[in-house]
Amino acid sequence: MVGAMTTRFVLITEANSLFGYEFLRRLLADERSVLSAVITRTPGVLCDYYLDDDVQVDVAADARANGVDVYQAEDPNAPEIVEAMRTLAPDYIIVANYQLQVGRALRDVPTVDIINFHPSPLPRYAGLAPYFWMAKNHETQGGVSAIRMSAGLDDGPLIAQQLLSLRGDETADEIRSSHFEASWRLFELVLPTLHDRSYRSWPQDLSLRTYYGAPPQRVLSTA
């Protein structure tokens, strides 16, 4: 797009996150996006959601291979990380599957907003591995959400959402696959509104909120 202004992004995700890796790919492919940096975990710290996957991804390595600065932080809220992000002056921070809390100083860095993509129909299934809990609960109404991040966990205002029908007998893997794909599609729909600042937000109805913690170890691929 000749003459179009670019938008600067920072991506925060887990080092081996298939979910976050696809956000990396889409930001790199988008001609109006400049991916200024990726923040991920320290080398060797992996998210157990993906340890049994046939295909393994390395977000840090792929980001570096594409000329993107990578910060592998034990604490993303450390003063040196926050200051480095301020120096980059991103328009947006995108958070996609990150298990450490992002503090206020880092949330305040982007000049426009910090957006979290969560593969559940918020305010329902806030928290960790929503696909596991949807399968366990034989859920028939799934969905994916994009929210403006706040001090709470997955409770910020919505900027986009897509609801997905489920049969109630899917495995966690099946729900993960459908909800990851839907989240990536949602990001592609949202991205133009981030470029032109046209997105709107509305509060979650927190009276409907459900929150789930980490699933039992090593059962993330079970029904």
Q: What CA–CA distances, in Å, run from 131 to 25, 34, 56, 165?
A: 23, 31, 19, 13
User: What domains, with CATH codes, occur in the chain?
Assistant: 7-123+143-162+179-212 (3.40.50.170)
**Amino acid found at 35:** L
- Give the pTM: 0.94
Over residues 37-49, the pLDDT tens digits come to 999 999 999 999 9
Give the DSSP per-residue string, 59-119. HHHHHHHTT-EEEE-S-TTSHHHHHHHHHH--SEEEEES--SPPPHHHHT-SSSEEEEEES
Q: Are 120 and 205 in contact (CB under 8 A)?
A: no
pLDDT at residue 222 in the model: 33
pLDDT at residue 2 in the model: 43
Res. 117 pLDDT band, cuts 50 70 90: very high
pLDDT at residue 223 in the model: 28
pLDDT at residue 216 in the model: 85
Q: Which of 149, 148, 193, 201 is nearest to 7 (CA)?
A: 193
pLDDT at residue 220 tops 80? no
Pairing relationship of beta strands 141-148 and 158-165 according to DSSP bridges: antiparallel
Q: Are 7 and 33 in contact (CB under 8 A)?
A: yes
pLDDT at residue 185 tops 80? yes
Over residues 89-108, the pLDDT tens digits come to 999 999 999 999 999 999 99
Q: Are 193 and 166 in contact (CB under 8 A)?
A: no
Res. 55 pLDDT band, cuts 50 70 90: very high
pLDDT at residue 148 tops 90? yes
Res. 217 pLDDT band, cuts 50 70 90: low
- The beta strands (E) that lie in the chain are given as 7-12, 33-40, 69-72, 92-96, 113-118, 126-127, 141-148, 158-165, 211-212
| Token pair in block for residue 156 | 């910020």
Q: Is 211 helix (H, G, I), strand (E, B) or coil?
A: strand
What value does the mean pLDDT of the chain take? 94
pLDDT at residue 219 tops 80? no
For 99, other C-beta atoms within 10 Å of its C-beta total 14
Of residues 219 and 167, more confidence is placed in: 167
pLDDT at residue 156 tops 80? yes
